[in-house]
Amino acid sequence: MKKVGIWMDKEKAHVVTLEGEKESFKTVFSDLEFFKVKGGSRSKTRWGPQQVVQDSRYLEREKHQLREFFGNLAEAVKKADVISVFGPAEVKEKFAKEMNERYADIGARIKAVETADSMTDNQVVELVKEHYGWERP
């Protein structure tokens, strides 16, 4: 049985695969751009036009970039029997929702979505092993 644990945030996802006596670790990076949104600005003339910040444009771009990231991640875990997702932010819930909507076969295999702080690579591997109660025979 192939068990997969994913620790993810907006920048990257660490995929830990446990199968039989083997364990593997893979990192999938997102191409998400991080925008610094500045406030609007006023014209130099009194009562002049204002420049408005287009938050919706940034949010729409982020949504498309996240969708592409989730697609790459779905490709990496498509052969898993059981999937558990961990992470510090709301991205893990967005991933689970996206899998249920666009990749129903993968979404059905997601058994847990849990909050976990930022961790080193070794801590992620240990978290997944502990979650599945996996011990090397």
| Residue 124 domain flag | yes
| Residue 49 domain flag | no
| Residue 50 domain flag | no
* pTM greater than 0.75 (yes/no): yes
- Tally the domains of the chain: 1
List, for residues 54-99, the tens digit of each pLDDT value.
678 888 888 999 999 999 999 999 999 999 999 998 999 999 999 9
**Nearest to 103, CA basis, from 91, 95, 113, 115:** 95
Cα-trace Rg, the chain:
19
58 vs 4, higher pLDDT: 4
